[in-house]
Amino acid sequence: MSESIKVRDRNRRILAAAGRLAKRHGFRSFSRDQVAAEAGVSAGSVNNAYGTMDGLHDAVMAQAVEQRDGDIVAQGLALRHPAALAAPQDLKDSALASLAA
């Protein structure tokens, strides 16, 4: 396996772990160390992959919009996250409706 494939795989594992933690604990309620433990990597690998926690949060929100994850998008709307605000209107509507239910 080439180095670039290993890095992409590691980055996907980190993003998937962050997404799972966002679902369990809330979009802004997970730490770098939690993501690293969940992904089975070092905290430094999380830094290398996404730079800052803001960068990781941005990636999680972009993924949530792409995967149409209304729970995370609703949190992003409440926090006025740019990716959530730019989501398709039907996704925003269903995400907000889930909050009202």
Segment 31-86, tens digit of pLDDT: 999 999 999 999 999 999 999 999 999 999 999 999 999 999 999 999 999 999 99
Distance (Å, whole) CA 66 – CA 72: 11
Domains of the chain in start order, with CATH, are 3-100 (1.10.357.10)
- Predicted TM-score (pTM) of the model is 0.92
Confidence band for 100, pLDDT divided at 50, 70 and 90 = confident
Torsion sign across C-alpha atoms 74, 78, 81, 84: positive
Helix axes 3-25, 53-66, angle to 10 degrees: 80
